[in-house]
């Protein structure tokens, strides 16, 4: 690849890190907006999403242009693919953050139990932590950190289950109405999905470093790594049928 292409790739890396940093910042903020039912903050986050979408879209276009014009190979090709994949996950996660902010509008004026509030704050922290680790794994090309994200996601799933349980309890005790309970349930889902996107990002960081993509869904059964990794070679397609 030419010098200009190397600079472009470095530039893309810097931009993807900046976009990630913005997302990492917004996850616990959204949880706080929900807890405070801060309508102004929610409005701000919702409006900020347009710029975020734009930036991720430009990132993808630039990756495509890079691949088309400069024909990168090996680690540089993987890098371009990783950035493209990560921007899609970042874009979806930012939408989920916006969804959480929208929930704060819908439940406005309704009190939540302390237990639900505590779990919302915890899920926000955990979802942020997942993305923070994916971010660090990518910034430092740190394989152990990238792999740790899978285990961290298990804890987020556990919090998700606890949260659903707490919603049932709160509803049957008559503390929250059914519409609020439904809103809470989808909120729990939003956080859990953000975690899944962080896991996807971490998987592509692993792909960037090793050239292998961990098999989809495998980490939930604890059978990560080892023999059933799909070798990719120089071909940048995450083929999983070899399993």
Partner 1 sequence: MITVVVAIVALLLGAALGFRRAKLDAPTVSATPEPSIESKADVDSMPEVRAALDSLSVGVVVASASGNIIFRNTPSKGLTGEVHSDVLVDEAVDVHLRGALDGQIRRQVLDLFGPPRKVVAVSATPLSTGGAIAMIEDITERSLVDAVRTDFVANISHELKTPVGAIAVLAEALSDEDDLDVIHRLSGKMVDEAVRVGRTIDDLLELSRIELGGEAVKDAVSVSMVIAEAVDRARSLSERRAIDIQSIEASDRMKVLGDRRQLVSALGNLVENAVKYSERGSKVEVSAHTDGTWVRFTVRDYGMGIPTRDIDRIFERFYRVDRARSRETGGTGLGLAIVRHVATNHGGEVSVSSVEGEGSTFVLKVPAAPGLVMTSMSEAG
Residue numbers at the binding site for partner 1 (CB under 8 A): 7, 10-11, 13-14, 17-18, 20-22, 24-26, 28-29, 32, 35-36, 113-119, 121-122, 125, 132, 135-136, 139-140
**Cβ closest to partner 1, residue 126 vs residue 215:** 126
**Cβ closest to partner 1, residue 41 vs residue 238:** 41
Shortest distance in whole angstroms from residue 192 CB to partner 1 = 19
Rounded distance between C-alpha atoms, residue 215 and residue 139, angstroms: 23
Q: Which residues pair with 38 in a beta bridge?
A: none
Shortest distance in whole angstroms from residue 79 CB to partner 1 = 13
Shortest distance in whole angstroms from residue 243 CB to partner 1 = 34
Shortest distance in whole angstroms from residue 219 CB to partner 1 = 24
**Cβ closest to partner 1, residue 88 vs residue 121:** 121
> Shortest CA distance to 149 belongs to which of 159, 165, 138?
138
**Cβ closest to partner 1, residue 139 vs residue 232:** 139
Rounded distance between C-alpha atoms, residue 167 and residue 226, angstroms: 39
**Cβ closest to partner 1, residue 7 vs residue 151:** 7
Shortest distance in whole angstroms from residue 21 CB to partner 1 = 4
The b/e string for 5-18 (b: 16+ C-beta within 10 A; e otherwise) is beebbeebeebbee
Q: Which residues pair with 213 in a beta bridge?
A: 230
Shortest distance in whole angstroms from residue 222 CB to partner 1 = 28
Q: What 8-state DSSP symbol labels residue 164? A: H
Provide the token pair at 123: 């899920």
Contacts of 65 (CB under 8 A, 6+ apart): none
Which contiguous run of DSSP H or E holds residue 242?
A: none
Which contiguous run of DSSP H or E holds residue 208?
A: helix 178-210
**Cβ closest to partner 1, residue 53 vs residue 136:** 136
């Amino acid at each position: 690849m030419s010098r200009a292409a190397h600079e472009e790739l470095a530039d893309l890396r810097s931009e993807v890190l900046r976009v990630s940093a913005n997302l990492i910042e917004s996850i616990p903020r959204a949880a706080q907006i929900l807890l405070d039912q801060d309508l102004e903050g929610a409005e701000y986050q919702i409006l900020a999403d347009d710029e975020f979408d734009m930036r991720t879209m430009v990132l993808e276009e630039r990756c495509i242009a890079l691949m088309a014009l400069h024909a990168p190979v090996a680690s540089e090709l993987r890098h371009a693919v990783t950035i493209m994949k990560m921007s899609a996950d970042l874009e979806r996660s930012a939408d989920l953050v916006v969804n959480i902010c929208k929930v704060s509008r819908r439940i406005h004026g309704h009190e939540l139990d302390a237990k639900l509030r505590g779990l919302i704050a915890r899920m926000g922290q955990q979802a942020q932590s997942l993305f923070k680790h994916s971010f660090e794994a990518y910034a430092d090309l740190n394989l152990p950190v990238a792999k740790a994200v899978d285990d961290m996601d298990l804890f987020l799933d556990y919090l998700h289950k606890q949260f659903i349980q707490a919603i049932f309890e709160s509803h049957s005790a008559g503390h929250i109405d059914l519409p609020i309970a439904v809103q809470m349930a989808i909120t729990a889902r939003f956080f859990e999905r953000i975690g899944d996107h962080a896991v996807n990002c971490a998987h592509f960081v692993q792909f960037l470093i090793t050239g292998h993509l961990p098999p989809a869904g495998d980490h939930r059964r604890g059978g990560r790594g080892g023999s059933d990794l799909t070798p990719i070679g120089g071909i940048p397609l995450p083929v999983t049928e070899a399993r």
